[in-house]
């Protein structure tokens, strides 16, 4: 497939950012993130009776300009030495591209079902894995790619210094609504918030520790595994509590497979493992953070577990039940910690945030423990983003530059889940051969 860049320009907010908001300080939580981008790729079929056939690149640019005043840090530039964003309205990068040959959107969906590389190579901004190269680098990059068949791909890439996946979901909801209903931008009910409690600016900024590799590693492969609604229902029926969330039961199946991969690599012996769940803090603090608070509001929930060597990989539902319980207990403890964050008698904010992070990083670097992480993006509405042609017919993510990461998303079908699994290339065959993966995932 050949994709040509048609144009690249900067889109500025339709109205200037007030001087009082010019300097946007990032919190110590934002500073903990490695220099990387968060990316989402949405695929649309505009070939059959498009409702808004005259929507052009200019239309996308105008709607983006109209909403950028609400997302004013995204049009600014990061000042590394000050740990802040200069909200100078320099603008967001907007790239227009065209698929040059007769490859169709359906071809791309079929080819990318099990390998994320195609989506990343052709539809993300070229510098997705190159961060902090210049102080003039945009914090937000948009890419619109058109197919001759009428299909369209919209990709969004945002610096992880200021946004997490939930924030990207808020941005997409506002932008897609503004693009679909250009005369009703002011009536959109979602109101992004960039207010940060003072507790998150106290003291000195915390070092990230050892540098984290952010460029793309060709030894990593990322594949999608779909868990349909019916498969999740069957899985729930075999557990003690069928009301367990779909995210938890799917995570348990994947965790069992990840433990099996580690066992296969270590002569049939399972190491102790540490499962890290990324927990959205919004709605879990007291008082609650706004649902559409836009920055990094994520805390890690690390849980140590050990599955006996004799049962791993034997299609044993007891493993799944045990992992469901373990993941639930870990999440319950972290939710309790979140509720303490703003309590005057609770623990220090930084200790609540930092202790699990230091634990996970230390175990990961030590190599004696099998460490893998889950990030749940299933409630961020990516499959709901309608720019005027209906909902996406497919979706993908910007791949992470490290293995042993699993990102969960809603699927196109109601009630299903998609899991983007990051593994070393040599490990993926072990994962795919797992009995539970073959039984419940497609």
What's the confidence (pLDDT) of residue 424? Answer: 96
What's the confidence (pLDDT) of residue 199? Answer: 82
The pTM score is: 0.93
Q: Which of 92-96, 252-256, 343-347 shows the lowest per-residue confidence on average (mean pLDDT)?
A: 343-347
What's the confidence (pLDDT) of residue 205? Answer: 53
386 given a catalytic annotation: yes
Q: Which of 34-43, 68-77, 250-259 shows the lowest per-residue confidence on average (mean pLDDT)?
A: 34-43
The mean pLDDT of 395-408, rounded to a whole number, is 95
What's the confidence (pLDDT) of residue 182? Answer: 84
What's the confidence (pLDDT) of residue 49? Answer: 46
What's the confidence (pLDDT) of residue 359? Answer: 85
User: Choosing from 30, 45, 89, 386, which is the catalytic residue?
Assistant: 386
pLDDT in tens, 322-363: 999 999 999 999 999 998 888 877 678 888 898 898 888 888
Please, are residues 162 and 87 in contact by the beta-carbon 8 Å criterion? no
Residue 226: strand pairing partners: 418
User: Choosing from 160, 262, 292, 422, which is the catalytic residue?
Assistant: 160
Kindly tell me if the per-residue pLDDT of 295 is higher than 50. Answer: yes
Kindly tell me if the per-residue pLDDT of 33 is higher than 70. Answer: yes
Secondary structure of residue 59 in the 3-state scheme: helix
Dump the DSSP string for 176-202: HHHHH-GGGGGG-----B----GGGT-
Largest CA distance in the chain: 64
Please, are residues 349 and 199 in contact by the beta-carbon 8 Å criterion? yes
Kindly tell me if the per-residue pLDDT of 139 is higher than 80. Answer: yes
Residue 210 confidence class, pLDDT cut points 50, 70, 90: very low
Instruction: Please work out, in degrees rounded to the nearest 5, the angle formed at the alpha carbon of residue 417 by the alpha carbons of 415 and 420.
Output: 170
The mean pLDDT of 171-180, rounded to a whole number, is 95
User: Any idea which residue has 């941005």 for tokens?
Assistant: 171
More confident position, 434 or 218: 434
228 given a catalytic annotation: no
Tokens of 19: 């001087």
Distance CA 62, CA 43 (A): 21
What's the confidence (pLDDT) of residue 202? Answer: 60
The mean pLDDT of 270-287, rounded to a whole number, is 92
The mean pLDDT of 415-424, rounded to a whole number, is 96
What's the confidence (pLDDT) of residue 209? Answer: 46
> How many DSSP H helices and E strands does the chain contain?
11, 15
More confident position, 266 or 186: 266
Q: What domains appear along the chain, each with residue ranges and CATH number? A: 3-200 (3.30.559.10), 220-440 (3.30.559.10)
What's the confidence (pLDDT) of residue 48? Answer: 55
What's the confidence (pLDDT) of residue 310? Answer: 43
Q: Provide the mean pLDDT of the chain.
A: 89
Q: Which of 80-94, 227-241, 333-347, 404-418 shows the lowest per-residue confidence on average (mean pLDDT)?
A: 333-347
More confident position, 234 or 48: 234
What's the confidence (pLDDT) of residue 89? Answer: 98
């Amino acid at each position: 497939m050949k994709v040509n860049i048609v144009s690249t320009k900067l889109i500025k907010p339709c109205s200037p950012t007030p001087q009082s908001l010019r300097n946007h300080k990032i919190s110590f939580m934002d500073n903990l993130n490695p220099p990387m981008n968060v990316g989402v790729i949405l695929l649309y079929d505009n070939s059959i009776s498009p409702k808004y056939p005259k929507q052009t690149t200019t239309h996308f640019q105008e709607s983006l300009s109209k909403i950028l005043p609400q997302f004013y840090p995204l049009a600014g530039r990061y000042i590394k030495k000050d740990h802040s964003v200069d909200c100078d309205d320099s603008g967001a990068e907007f790239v227009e591209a065209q698929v040059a040959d007769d490859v169709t959107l359906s071809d791309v969906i079929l080819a990318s079902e099990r390998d994320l590389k195609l989506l990343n190579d052709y539809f993300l901004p070229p510098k997705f894995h190159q961060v902090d190269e210049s102080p003039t680098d945009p914090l937000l990059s948009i890419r619109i790619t058109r197919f001759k068949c009428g299909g369209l791909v919209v990709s969004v890439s945002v610096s992880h210094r200021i946004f997490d996946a939930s924030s990207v979901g808020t941005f997409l909801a506002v932008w897609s609504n503004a693009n679909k209903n250009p005369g009703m931008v002011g009536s959109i009910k979602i109101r992004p918030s960039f207010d940060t409690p003072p507790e998150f600016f106290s003291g000195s900024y915390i070092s990230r520790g050892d540098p984290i590799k952010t460029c793309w590693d060709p030894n990593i492969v990322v594949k999608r595994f779909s868990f349909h609604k019916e498969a999740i229902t069957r899985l729930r029926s075999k557990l003690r509590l069928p009301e367990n969330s779909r995210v938890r039961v799917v995570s348990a199946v994947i965790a069992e497979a990840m433990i099996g991969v580690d066992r296969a690599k270590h002569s049939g012996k399972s190491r102790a493992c540490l499962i890290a769940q990324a927990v959205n803090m919004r709605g879990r603090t007291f008082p609650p953070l706004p649902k559409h608070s836009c920055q990094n509001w994520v805390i890690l929930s690390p849980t140590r577990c050990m599955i006996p060597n004799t049962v791993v990989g034997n299609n044993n539902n007891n493993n799944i039940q045990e992992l469901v319980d373990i993941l639930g207990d870990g999440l319950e403890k972290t939710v309790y910690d979140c509720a303490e964050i703003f309590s005057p008698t609770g623990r220090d904010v930084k200790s609540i945030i930092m202790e699990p992070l230091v634990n996970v990083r230390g175990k990961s670097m030590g190599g004696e423990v099998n460490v893998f992480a889950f990030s749940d993006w299933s409630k961020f509405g990516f499959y709901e983003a309608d720019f005027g042609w209906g909902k996406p017919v497919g979706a993908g993510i910007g791949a992470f530059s490290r293995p042993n990461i699993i990102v969960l998303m809603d699927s196109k079908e109601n009630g299903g889940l998609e899991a983007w699994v990051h593994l070393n290339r040599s490990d993926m065959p072990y994962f795919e051969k797992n009995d539970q993966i073959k039984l419940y995932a497609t």
